[in-house]
């Protein structure tokens, strides 16, 4: 990596982009929660259900169903990057991400993916939902992407939330510097949702783009900390047909958890909606399997059976 590229990457880590702040969530922790989605992830999972969160930099999204055909974006684009004969509509090699087309679009068919927000701005935005947190036992969840890519930013954000008495939760892929996590995030976080995808190292590298030894070691060390109280750690296993949701892999994950002494696990059913989201940011429709299909009930039941003896939450 060139020095300029390395510097750019470090700047992005100091100034993370926020994808969305989503309120009224019931699926990202206890109670009613507000979720802050970060952009950027050290993994590159084939099936990522938030593909727009993989890259740390800004992107442009095009939703053909929302387009009203007014051509205002074509008039605004000085690079000639928009063309209705292009199936993707946006030529991302020519696009300079000036977002003038987004500003000109009246329907929201074109949208900016990711924007920087100062920590006080995020705190102010989520505290509007404080009454919902108080009455439901909810709080704020940091998700992504991978929040732990941005240790200093998230440390300040979590500290600000805890000062207001807000319950805090991080959803993580598990690939981070554990010592930095301990010093910067752990003092301000109540709960960690930790994804465990694939145990076999070669399969993990093939499907997720990285090694998994650090992930497994980080889970072990965080689990040890959870035994001392003060931190709730919940392992989560996404069910991806033919990849994570195989008998061999689920047995390996269950065995790993039992070795740790874990008593609970969350099993996340496959969500195929990522396919359309990927198309909006210029990705291609994946081939080779039925990526667009939900899992059958019986298949989900068999996957859950692999975790016999553990409480599935």
pLDDT by residue for the chain (313 residues), tens digit each?
Answer: 443 344 345 545 578 999 999 999 999 999 999 999 999 999 999 999 999 999 999 999 999 999 999 999 999 999 999 999 999 999 999 999 999 999 999 999 999 999 999 999 999 999 999 999 999 999 999 999 999 999 999 999 999 999 999 999 999 999 999 999 999 999 999 999 999 999 999 999 999 999 999 999 999 999 999 998 889 999 999 999 999 999 999 999 999 999 999 999 999 999 999 999 999 999 988 887 789 899 999 999 999 999 999 999 9
Q: 91 and 29 in one domain? A: no
Q: Are residues 66 and 188 in the same domain?
A: no
Residue 36 burial (C-beta neighbours within 10 Å; 0-12, 13-18, 19+): buried
CA–CA gap between residue 263 and residue 54 (Å, rounded): 31
* 8 A C-beta contact, residue 205 and residue 211: yes
Indicate which CATH number applies to the domain containing 95.
3.30.70.20
User: What's the structural domain count of the chain?
Assistant: 2
pTM of the model: 0.93
Q: Domain of 82? A: 59-112
> For residue 255, what are the contacts with CB-CB under 8 A and spacing of at least 6?
none
Number of alpha carbons in the 13 Å side-chain half-sphere of residue 77: 22
Q: Is the dihedral of CA 76, 65, 292, 253 positive or negative?
A: positive
Domain for residue 2, yes or no? no
């Amino acid at each position: 990596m060139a020095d300029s590229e390395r510097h750019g990457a470090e700047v992005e880590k100091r100034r993370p982009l926020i994808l969305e702040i989503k309120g009224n969530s019931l699926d990202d922790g206890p109670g009613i929660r507000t979720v802050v989605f970060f952009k950027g992830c050290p993994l590159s999972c084939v099936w990522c259900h938030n593909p727009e969160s993989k890259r740390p930099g800004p992107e442009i999204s095009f939703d053909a169903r929302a387009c009203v055909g007014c051509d205002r974006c074509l008039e605004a684009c000085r690079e000639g990057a928009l063309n209705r004969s292009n199936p993707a509509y946006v030529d991302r090699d020519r696009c300079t991400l000036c977002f003038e087309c987004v500003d000109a679009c009246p329907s929201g068919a074109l949208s900016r993916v990711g924007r920087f927000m100062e920590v006080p701005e995020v705190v102010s935005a989520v505290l509007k939902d404080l009454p919902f947190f108080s009455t439901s036992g909810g709080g704020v969840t940091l998700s992504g992407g991978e929040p732990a890519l941005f240790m200093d930013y998230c440390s300040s954000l979590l500290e600000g939330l805890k000062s207001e008495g807000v319950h805090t939760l991080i959803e993580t892929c598990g690939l981070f510097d554990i010592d930095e996590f301990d010093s910067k995030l752990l003092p301000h976080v109540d709960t960690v949702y930790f994804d465990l995808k694939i145990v076999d190292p070669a399969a993990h590298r093939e499907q997720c783009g990285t090694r998994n030894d650090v992930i497994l070691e980080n889970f072990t060390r965080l689990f040890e900390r959870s035994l001392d109280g003060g931190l709730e750690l919940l392992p989560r296993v996404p069910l991806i047909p033919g990849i994570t949701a195989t008998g061999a892999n689920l047995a390996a994950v269950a065995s790993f958890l039992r070795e740790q002494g874990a008593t609970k696990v969350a099993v996340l059913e496959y969500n195929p909606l990522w396919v359309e989201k990927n198309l909006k940011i210029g990705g291609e429709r994946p081939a080779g399997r039925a990526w667009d299909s939900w899992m059958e009930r019986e298949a989900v039941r068999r996957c859950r059976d692999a975790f016999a003896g553990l409480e599935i939450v």
